[in-house]
Structure 1
Amino acid sequence: MHHDRYGLRLTTASDRAAAEAANLISDRLHRRPSRRDLAWSQEVARQ
């Protein structure tokens, strides 16, 4: 079982992906995206 930074229990890969996307968007409200964030978003776009 995986947990995101807010402590929510994520039971499926799609739940995890949605939480990751929400976290990424939240991060972008506070700072510029890092290379890791950009690489992750590009990886998701390919799927």
Structure 2
Amino acid sequence: MWIAILTFLFILGFLEFTGVIWHNDWFARKYEIKGLDVSHHQGEID
């Protein structure tokens, strides 16, 4: 039982680390505006 739980957590952590899943999407759902934070000192944005 513990091995299955640890395996699941390892796979979940690996997917988070490699960018397959993004936990930030869950936390950002309540906000209406989503996007990049860009400032004028970063130069021209394409």
Q: TM-score, normalised by structure 1?
A: 0.39
Structure number with the higher helix fraction is 1
Structure number with the higher strand fraction is 1
- Considering only CA atoms, is the larger Rg found in Structure 1 or Structure 2? 2
Larger RCO (alpha carbons 8 Å, 6+ apart): 1
